[in-house]
Amino acid sequence: MTDRIGWVGLGGMGRPMAANVARGGLPLTVCDLRPEPVAELAGLGAAAAPDAAAVAAACEVLFVSLPDRAASEAVAAAVFGSANRPEVYVELSTLSPSTMRALAEQAAATGVTFLDSPVSGNVRARTEGTLSVMVGGPAAGFERIRAVLDLIGGNVFHLGDVGAGSVAKISNNLIALTSMMTAMEGLLLGIREGLDATVLRDVIMTASGASPQVLGAAHMYRTRRYRESTTPQAALRLARKDLELALELATECGLATPTARAAHATWLDAERAGLGEAEIWAMLDHLEQLR
């Protein structure tokens, strides 16, 4: 691949993905609001730029990984409104399908090919480049960026037109975030009744409740590592946001999602209790305090 790559957003998800691209030897220019991750990427050989427009001017293919719709729309406006634009714009953020399609329209109006390409995976998958990558957009655009996607993902799917990747990611998040909460509740129930957390985990993992969420919840219950995090890999408020996207999409297509709605109410309650910027597993503390 000879394209120059640009990267905007070096947060909990964007930084390890961009690092894998840099280690892959591709020409890379990055920017972020914080200097620390930019310096880390520069140490891996990436060039640093002051803002999104400067990154766009330095690349043919631009990847964007941001925490919410407002940030994504602001970056898109800056890029599409600049004189020097990339040829391909890849939105990695978790946004609604309608937002993705609106961004695609803006891109098309300026002659830029747009793909939505949200990703999913734990910290290990981010670091090792084995994320699940869900892409919507033109087949030619997908093939053009495939070499980059293979550096960040072990499972790469082209699902159809723009918005298809977003639908897959939102469906995945509904399952993951409701399952995560029930795993925590189930473990806490057994622990409160006197069972050892590790023993209970081992039992469940041989039974019908087995899931990665059970392993994660048991590990976090024992170590409480999330309490030490000053820069969360996944802030709790993002769980609330992602479930809101699922509920909005369900409403649009007329699907009742009572379990997701109940889970969303609890994630929102934890955020209102001051845990919004805490690591997502801080929900354990919140659930333990509820009566």
230: confidence class by pLDDT, cuts 50, 70, 90? confident
Query: CATH class for domain 5-162?
Result: alpha beta
Distance CA 57, CA 85 (A): 6
Mean pLDDT of the residues in the chain: 96
Domain ranges of the chain: 5-162, 167-289
The angle subtended at Cα 115 by Cα 158 and Cα 157, nearest 5°, is: 15
150-183, pLDDT tens digit by residue? Answer: 999 999 999 999 999 999 999 999 999 999 999 9
87-103, pLDDT tens digit by residue? Answer: 999 999 999 999 999 99
pLDDT at 90: 98
**pLDDT at 250 exceeding the cut of 80:** yes
Distance CA 42, CA 154 (A): 25
241 given a catalytic annotation: no
Catalytic residue among 126, 158, 169, 286: 169
34-91, pLDDT tens digit by residue? Answer: 999 999 999 999 999 999 999 999 999 999 999 999 999 999 999 999 999 999 999 9
Query: CATH class for domain 167-289?
Result: mainly alpha
DSSP 208: T
Strand ranges inside 32-87, DSSP E: 47-48, 61-64
Residue at 137: amino acid letter: G
pLDDT at 1: 60
Which residues touch 75 (CB under 8 Å, ≥6 apart)? 8, 9, 52, 64, 66
